[in-house]
């Protein structure tokens, strides 16, 4: 069953975020809705990338239902819309895979907006992000994308990262265009673009249908953090501070149930993969081919993890995307938050 809230354009405005947040923000409910009695509804925004797997699994395995929680998954076209829904009071949180920089922009617009309780760090081993080219493309490195047309996912996080990585790789004069990730493979296949910076499962889709290949994976860790094996905390699950403050016990129960989803993915990844179906572009047996990001809960962060996360955020301050420095440590959830 599909539920639909007030529609909004798929293309997010480049105007002020507060204006975008005040506008109607559309979302499509995911295939499964979790219903419970006696607890406030928890509407959780996500977009269709593999990193959201713990949330998908927690819904489908009944972990939220077991905790007597009323959870409603809301599917959005981009991470910025997930954040705007939180700003507008149309959502109580985000699932993993929601751009952490997009969330930080919401924090700048409304200080104290949310708390992060889980991230999905990725790198060259735990793959989420990558550059793709056509299967038969002669391009062998990111540096060879000079002068090429390169797509990125929608939103300021994707665009800023794509431009910065191309610059640092030595790809001069490349043009970055925003395109929904569901269109990346088709755009490569038709020659509309020369390459794309994208998120899984896009690379798997392109490889399996024979139209695209991975040029390089773990690219943010490589070009932004300076180490292909560094943890890039590019996506985050969060709850609004307002919801946590009004419902501290329910928030703790939600995070505990979400933790079950993370543990399930960690301990039974092959069984968990099936829950990408209906939430991402991957279906059936093809889910077995998708690489998985790692996951880090709020109480698992080490100082080095916070430092790498902060380095990621500082890039956006340096680029002028953030109007002020955003302190990662202050955004992490604690039981007393």
| Predicted pLDDT at 37 | 53
Q: Is the pLDDT of residue 15 over 70?
A: no
Rounded Cα distance between 324 and 318, Å, is: 9
Is residue 33 pLDDT above 70, yes or no?
A: no
Omega of the bond leading into 201 within 30 degrees of 0 (cis): yes
**17: pLDDT strictly greater than 70:** no
State the residue for tokens 């507008």.
88
Long-range contacts: 305-311, Cβ < 8 Å, 24+? 305/121, 305/231, 305/233, 306/332, 308/225, 308/230, 308/231, 308/232, 308/233, 309/100, 309/119, 309/231, 309/233, 311/224, 311/225
- At 87-104, the pLDDT tens digits run 999 999 999 999 999 999
The residue count for the chain = 337
The tokens describing 178, both together, are: 């925003």
In 3D space, the residue among 122, 118, 79 whose CA is nearest the CA of residue 227 turns out to be: 122
Taking the C-alpha atoms of residue 200 and residue 206, their distance in angstroms, rounded to an integer, is 10
Upper half-sphere CA count for residue 91 (Cβ side, 13 Å): 36
Tens digits of residue pLDDT in 170-197: 999 999 999 999 999 999 999 999 999 9
Q: Beta strands 93-94 and 114-119: pairing type?
A: unpaired
**Cα separation, 11 vs 9, whole angstroms:** 5
Q: Which candidate, 118, 156, 158, 157, places its Cα nearest to that of 331? A: 118
Pick from 93-107, 124-138, 305-319, 323-337: least confident: 323-337
pLDDT of residue 220 exceeding 70: yes
Show the tokens assigned to 33.
């809705």
pLDDT at residue number 19 = 40
Residue 219 has pLDDT above 90, yes or no: yes
Give the Cα separation of 255 and 249 in Å (integer): 10
- Tell me the β-bridge partners of 44: 73, 93
What pairs with residue 330 in β-bridges?
A: none
Q: In which residue ranges of the chain is CATH 3.40.190.10 found?
A: 17-123+232-331, 129-217
**Could you tell me the pLDDT band of residue 30, with boundaries at 50, 70 and 90?**
very low
For domain 129-217, the CATH class is alpha beta
CA 323 to CA 306: how far, in whole Å?
21
DSSP 166-219: HHHHT-TT-EEEE--GGGHHHHHHTTS-SEEEEETTHHHHHHHTTSEEEEEESH
What is the topology classification, in CATH, of domain 17-123+232-331?
Answer: D-Maltodextrin-Binding Protein; domain 2 (3.40.190)
Residues 6+ apart with CB under 8 A from 38: 68
Under a CB-based contact definition with an 8 Å cutoff, are residues 86 and 302 in contact?
no
């Amino acid at each position: 069953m599909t539920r639909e809230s007030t529609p909004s354009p798929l293309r997010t405005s480049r105007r002020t975020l507060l204006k975008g947040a005040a506008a109607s923000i559309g979302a499509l409910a995911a295939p499964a809705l979790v219903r419970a009695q006696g607890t406030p509804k928890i509407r959780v925004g996500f977009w269709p990338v593999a990193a959201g797997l713990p949330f998908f699994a927690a819904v489908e395995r009944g972990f939220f239902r077991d905790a007597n929680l009323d959870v409603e998954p809301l599917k959005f076209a981009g991470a910025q819309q997930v954040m705007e829904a939180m700003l507008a009071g149309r959502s109580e949180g985000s699932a993993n895979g929601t751009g952490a920089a997009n969330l930080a922009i919401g924090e700048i617009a409304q200080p104290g907006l949310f708390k992060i309780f889980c991230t999905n760090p990725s790198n060259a081993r735990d793959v989420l992000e990558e550059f793709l080219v056509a299967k038969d493309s002669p391009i062998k490195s990111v540096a060879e994308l000079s002068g090429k047309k390169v797509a990125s996912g929608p939103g300021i996080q994707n665009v800023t990262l794509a431009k910065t990585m191309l610059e640092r790789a030595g790809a001069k004069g490349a043009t970055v265009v925003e395109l929904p990730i569901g269109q990346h493979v088709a755009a490569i296949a038709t020659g509309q673009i020369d390459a794309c910076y994208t998120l899984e499962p896009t690379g798997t889709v392109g490889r399996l249908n024979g139209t695209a290949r991975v040029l390089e994976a773990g690219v943010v860790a490589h070009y932004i953090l300076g180490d292909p094996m560094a943890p890039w905390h590019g996506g985050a699950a969060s709850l609004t501070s307002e919801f946590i403050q009004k419902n501290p016990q329910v928030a703790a129960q939600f995070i505990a149930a979400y933790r079950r989803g993370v543990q399930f993915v960690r301990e039974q990844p092959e069984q968990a993969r099936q829950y990408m179906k209906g939430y991402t572009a991957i279906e059936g047996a093809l889910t077995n081919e998708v690489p998985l990001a790692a996951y880090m809960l709020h109480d698992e962060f080490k100082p080095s993890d916070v430092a790498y996360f902060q380095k990621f955020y500082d890039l956006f301050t340096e680029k002028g995307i953030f109007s002020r420095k955003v302190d990662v440590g202050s955004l992490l959830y604690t039981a007393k938050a």
